[in-house]
Structure 1
Amino acid sequence: MLKKAIQYMVISALAFTFLNVFVKSLHNFSVYQIVFFRSLGSLFFTIPFLLKNKISLKGNKKALLVARSVFGLISMTLFFLSLKYIAMGAAVSLRYIAPVFAAFFAVYFLKERVKPIQWLFFILAFSGVLVLKGFDNKLQIEGVVFALISAIFAGLVYITIRKIGSKDHPVVVVNYFMIISAVIGGILSINNWQTPQLNEWLIFLSLGVFGYFGQVYMTKALQLGETSKLAPLKYLEVVFSMLIGLIWFSENYTLFSLLGIGLIISGLLLNLFVKGK
């Protein structure tokens, strides 16, 4: 079971990595147009699934579903925007600061307790952000800011999903997110719409596929194995993004970039370990 779960997590990390790669390759297009196609592509999977299994598309916690969708839309848009400015590995690392913000929000909104040592690990992760930007002049400040604000809204997504709990099917939650993102992304992209070439159409259409299967295989993995053992594997996305970025986009990382990314991942992995125990 654990071996299968690990395989699923690796597949999920690869799917999300290729999603990042194709988003970055579409840098000439409006970020809203990218959001539109990313969301539209996933709807070809979520809506048939819900209809086939006779699950209501309306959901139960409508206000929370809309809030989760808006937070997710803002986070996704800003993350895609950050990929236009900084290397993929750096952008993905900064986005994964989200659990730190989620912990802050959980203390305030959900009255959850955080162990004192976890705050130490959060500081370690944030020190990685400071090293990443403070000592690497190649990183554009716009990209770092977009990625960090994306992480803040991703933290709000985690909290909202926790509030929804088991009241709604996971695919209903994703479907709400994709519908709202497709509508808003489509409207905002009208003024700057560019008609893609044939090869660009293929890339656009693949965004929803990679995004959907990344989510599906991550969910399957977490259903088979313990979260504390599998969650660290999601950081493979950082490694894959760095490797493909080096090969595909000729991205390069300074020693300080690698140190900063290492501190971020170390702080988050230590937090997962302590939380798991």
Structure 2
Amino acid sequence: MVISALAFTFLNVFVKTLSNFSVYQIVFFRSIGSLFFTFPFLIKNKISFLGNKKGLLILRSVFGVTSMTLFFLSIRYIAMGTAVSIRYIAPIFAAFFALFFLKEKVRFIQWVFFAIAFLGVVILKGFDNNMQVEGIIYALVSALFSGLIFIIIRKIGNQDHPVVVVNYFMIISAVIGGLLAINSWKNPIGLEWLILMSLGVFGYFAQLYMTKAMQVGETNQVAPLKYLEVIFTMIIGLIWFGETYTIWSLIGILLIVLGLTLNVVTKRK
């Protein structure tokens, strides 16, 4: 999980580094890079590319590319650590949607922890005057679509291989990102090629090692470690980009991470 958090961190950092490229072009290269891993895996293991739940797979992919694009946009307006923290409130939206679409029950104590996390978002915007509202909105809507993705993946269940789900996501993201990037396309030069192609590599291994962590460890022990991404991203943001955090920003981020971590531990117990 620590390796996964580091991979996600470097993905965030390189996306911010590529601010002179359109966000759609970044989405395109992020997707193409991962396809170099998913295609060989499916071919080697003789798994069908089409999948079984085609409608849900397409819907999950559309929601996924929307969430990813909005998150990449958010880190152009606000500090990376703040954007990552807000994106992680997706479980709150997922729990809300699960009540209606999956008829799942959410314990009262979980709503208390969700309230703590959401209070952190309110503090970020309400008390930090340096925070740009566009970045907050982009990150919040990104989290909302991530919450919908949780529901769709639950609907897909075990009827499709996880790599098939990811492959659909990457193909549709590459197509949508590529088409939307045509008008603002900028040819990469030198090292920019390597950075753009590395996005897919970091994204793939971040997902891979997060999955492995869940498979070999107790969820309530390893899941909270994914929030190390917030700490790693904040540290690199401070050193690399000179990002600054007010005391209110730090309190808000702390509440978000605390509320979500308590929810994970309590839910699994």
TM superposition score category, shorter chain reference: over 0.9
- Cα displacement (A) at 1:138: 1.3
Aligned mates of 1:56, 1:143 — CA distance in 2 = 39
SS in structure 1 of the partner of residue 199 of structure 2: helix
SS in structure 2 of the partner of residue 190 of structure 1: helix
Q: Does 1:206 align with 2:235?
A: no
Match of 2:166 in 1: 174
Q: Does 1:153 align with 2:138?
A: no
Identity between Structure 1 and Structure 2 (%): 72
Amino acid paired to 2:225? L
Match of 2:208 in 1: 216
Match of 1:270 in 2: 262
Q: Does 1:130 align with 2:118?
A: no
- Cα displacement (A) at 1:151: 0.1
Q: How does 1:187-266 map to 2 (within 5 A)?
A: 187-266=179-258
Aligned mates of 1:201, 1:84 — CA distance in 2 = 20
CA displacement 1:84-126 (0-9 Å, x = unmatched): 1000000000000000000001111000000011111111111
How many matched pairs? 269
SS in structure 2 of the partner of residue 167 of structure 1: coil
CA displacement 1:249-269 (0-9 Å, x = unmatched): 010111000000001111111
SS in structure 2 of the partner of residue 173 of structure 1: helix
Q: Does 1:28 align with 2:20?
A: yes
Aligned mates of 1:226, 1:35 — CA distance in 2 = 33
TM-score by length of 2: 0.99
Aligned mates of 1:45, 1:183 — CA distance in 2 = 17
> Which of 45, 53, 71 pairs up with 2:45?
53
Amino acid paired to 2:239? I
Amino acid paired to 2:9? T
- Cα displacement (A) at 1:226: 1.8
Match of 1:68 in 2: 60
Q: Does 1:139 align with 2:138?
A: no
Match of 2:175 in 1: 183
Instruction: Return structure 1 stretches of 4+ with deviation > 4 angstroms.
Output: none
Q: Does 1:164 align with 2:153?
A: no
CA displacement 1:26-63 (0-9 Å, x = unmatched): 11111000000000000000001000010000000001
CA displacement 1:213-270 (0-9 Å, x = unmatched): 0011111111111212111000000000000000110101110000000011111111
Aligned mates of 1:159, 1:249 — CA distance in 2 = 36
Amino acid paired to 1:20? N
Aligned mates of 1:138, 1:49 — CA distance in 2 = 45
Amino acid paired to 2:48? S
- Cα displacement (A) at 1:210: 0.2
Aligned mates of 2:210, 2:131 — CA distance in 1 = 30
Aligned mates of 1:235, 1:33 — CA distance in 2 = 28
5+ residue gaps in structure 1?
1-8
5+ residue gaps in structure 2?
none
- Cα displacement (A) at 1:196: 1.1
Aligned mates of 1:151, 1:171 — CA distance in 2 = 22
- Cα displacement (A) at 1:13: 0.3
CA displacement 1:4-36 (0-9 Å, x = unmatched): xxxxx0000000000000000011111000000
- Cα displacement (A) at 1:276: 1.1
SS in structure 1 of the partner of residue 158 of structure 2: helix
Root-mean-square deviation (CA, aligned residues, Å) is 0.6
SS in structure 1 of the partner of residue 264 of structure 2: helix
